[in-house]
Structure 1
């Protein structure tokens, strides 16, 4: 990789990091070493180089470039493991069979770990040996962060969110935005209630770009008579520490949500239409916090499907328009929320036309894992998204739904670029628009 290219991929700490190259590499190696264990050892030693993970990755499919093979993206981590902790580590060192990782190696690998991976987990699902390839890439990101090589767009947002609770500089506090959304859409937003059974979060993308989705969620909660509240100190659902690869920042961001839920005595934290927010809070927060959380975490579609099944939420039937549904990776493949959206669509009478790759095998929107925020990734994102748009079109659908705000942003961007004839719509909005009075 040229010097110019390496500089283009320099991370948040690269320009201002006063550590020596060796110290930065040691930071990465330390992050890797903290992850070494029996499960990681299995993942490191069990790859049979069959190439099936390549055929699972939309970036490889869209480009045919072997460097996008998922397991190759974990090569730096594998090299460190085999040199430092593997069964034959002494031989690798003495014979020089595995060279020591250098800062230049890490700089070159930043593109593969952050710019061409959504951590969607499709490679892990398809691996015949059961390797958690996406988990290895997540560990790789942690090493990059410790070396000061996480993309600036992600690392800066993570640091700001950990400090303030908000991942961006804003003209108005999110609490004010929530109130304005309520006023504009004619719904009463419950904010900062001292005690409530349900604490609700909102996606940054919806607050800024799709406020009608936030209003829809509030409308349904009000209709159900739910005992809920938003909290000014924990409105944002996303966790940029997860994107950037910083366990420390991810924990600090999650703690803000956990502390507020504890404070109001919530038995449920309701995550909105946001995939990574759901995955990081439901499946990782307890481990990061080192405790069993005293509340449940549910995605909004799970909660609404439960209300439908309990007979508390009744919906009108919609038109018979052929409809495709995108299964968000972090919610469905990695989170297991497969049936809930289909329960809602069935209750609505949606004429669902499943894509060839759907449910757990669905292709990613190509914007997840922080890639929506990294502008330089757009050309590659669009190549992968074109594959997905064709798959949607192949169903003959006239309507396109999903249950993730990041996915909507990604598809809206791709749709505008390709002059696509569909707009990505929110499933929760469709529910809210069709509540039986």
Structure 2
């Protein structure tokens, strides 16, 4: 059943992309070294030791053909969290130096400099200044005290700077006491997709320190799926104690503002469909928040089939969008999303994850598709009342 749940298998019908097969070396190692019959397996040679050459061959299955989207885990009749097991396998691969070079390097840069791009803090501060100047808005940085700490993703900084401007515009419009912090601003967690636990902890640690330093009671994460997973669901465990603040994806924050009557929007008479980011919706449970915001926008929402927690992944998450050799496979998987969106008759898809947006933009260009993805936050900023 898990095979039909995987977009890479569905797109290729190649049995090697069956999710449970991707963790075969992990299963083999467990049975040989730790399982109840491990001594017998070793004595009789029934389970061979996993070799480095075997792991190198498995790199494509553990990284290139898995976005950690969780659809296989959702459908597994035995309740096996295959996604978590693949993440565990990635941690082992990273320890062995066998993660893809693009992900290893990004995780290393994040551990050292605080961002996967490796840019210094001064570059981020200058980026915010340019946003403020270009859009004529206030963008607070390093306030000594603030109720809300906002964060960004490196994808937004590099590819979608207008999304950062949209965040500032919305926060200012709402009169929120907020700030960015040069101590911790990058929410993208390169460690989580590479399997580099040290990098994952370091990235989370910077955000936690920044929030505590300014006394924030809320940390708003950007439109980035794995950023949400890393801090919202793994942050406390990695930190070793409960976090002294709320962690919200920006769509959750916007939905709360709509529900409480503080955020009012001018109607947008477009027909749209919504692509659920896997880490936020399926893995994170924040499925209704973006729909609350879309309802406030007054759009004609046409849901994909399937939708919400069972929606198909775009194919770019889990670091796959950054792995160059994975591009042909990723493009084949994206054809599923094209069919889904086209079937709704929507004018365009709305996304709430920068990685999804990059995948949609790249896929549209490669497939000569006439649908341009729009992101939820920018639509909100555009329609402020």
| TM-score range for the pair, normalised by the shorter chain length | over 0.9
Task: State the partner residue of 2:127.
Answer: 177
1:108 aligns with 2:57: yes
Q: Deviations over 1:256-275 (max 9, x none)?
A: 11111111111111001111
Q: Deviations over 1:180-221 (max 9, x none)?
A: 112212221111111111110011111111111111111110
Q: Distance in 1 between matches of 2:102 and 2:124?
A: 20
Task: State the partner residue of 1:166.
Answer: 115
Task: State the partner residue of 2:194.
Answer: 244
Matches within 5 A, 1:145-164: 145-164=94-113
Three-state SS of the structure 2 residue aligned to 1:233 is coil
Task: State the partner residue of 2:381.
Answer: 432
Q: Is the 8 A contact 2:297 2:380 kept in 1?
A: yes
Q: Is the 8 A contact 1:247 1:288 kept in 2?
A: no
Q: Distance in 1 between matches of 2:301 and 2:173?
A: 26
Q: Distance in 1 between matches of 2:201 and 2:118?
A: 21
Q: Is the 8 A contact 2:189 2:200 kept in 1?
A: yes
Task: State the partner residue of 1:407.
Answer: 356
Cα deviation, residue 314, structure 1: 0.9
Q: Deviations over 1:6-58 (max 9, x none)?
A: xxxxxxxxxxxxxxxxxxxxxxxxxxxxxxxxxxxxxxxxxxxxxx0000000
Cα deviation, residue 243, structure 1: 1.2
Matches within 5 A, 1:373-388: 373-388=322-337
1:295 aligns with 2:245: yes
Q: Is the 8 A contact 2:68 2:87 kept in 1?
A: yes
Task: State the partner residue of 2:75.
Answer: 126
Q: Distance in 2 between matches of 1:420 and 1:86?
A: 50
1:336 aligns with 2:253: no
Q: Distance in 2 between matches of 1:55 and 1:361?
A: 12
Matches within 5 A, 1:10-21: none
Q: Equivalent of 2:276, from 300, 324, 327?
A: 327
Task: State the partner residue of 2:302.
Answer: 353
Cα deviation, residue 247, structure 1: 1.2
Q: Distance in 2 between matches of 1:393 and 1:97?
A: 51
Cα deviation, residue 289, structure 1: 1.2
Matches within 5 A, 1:84-233: 84-170=33-119, 173-233=123-183
Cα deviation, residue 233, structure 1: 2.5
Task: State the partner residue of 1:279.
Answer: 229
Unaligned runs of 5+ in 1: 1-51
1:419 aligns with 2:368: yes
Three-state SS of the structure 1 residue aligned to 2:356 is helix
Q: Distance in 2 between matches of 1:251 and 1:366?
A: 26
Q: Distance in 2 between matches of 1:111 and 1:224?
A: 46
Three-state SS of the structure 1 residue aligned to 2:89 is helix
How many residue pairs were aligned? 384
Task: State the partner residue of 1:267.
Answer: 217
Cα deviation, residue 170, structure 1: 3.8
Q: Equivalent of 1:254, from 198, 204, 207?
A: 204
Name the Cα RMSD after superposition: 1.1
Q: Is the 8 A contact 2:224 2:355 kept in 1?
A: yes
Matches within 5 A, 1:17-36: none
Task: State the partner residue of 1:16.
Answer: none
Q: Is the 8 A contact 2:151 2:186 kept in 1?
A: yes
Task: State the partner residue of 1:308.
Answer: 258
Three-state SS of the structure 2 residue aligned to 1:222 is helix
TM-score (norm 1): 0.86
Q: Is the 8 A contact 2:143 2:181 kept in 1?
A: yes
Q: Deviations over 1:98-139 (max 9, x none)?
A: 111111111111111111100000000010111100000000
Task: State the partner residue of 1:33.
Answer: none
Q: Deviations over 1:296-336 (max 9, x none)?
A: 110001011101111111111111x2211100000000111
Cα deviation, residue 368, structure 1: 0.5
Q: Distance in 2 between matches of 1:166 and 1:397?
A: 36
Q: Distance in 1 between matches of 2:307 and 2:354?
A: 18
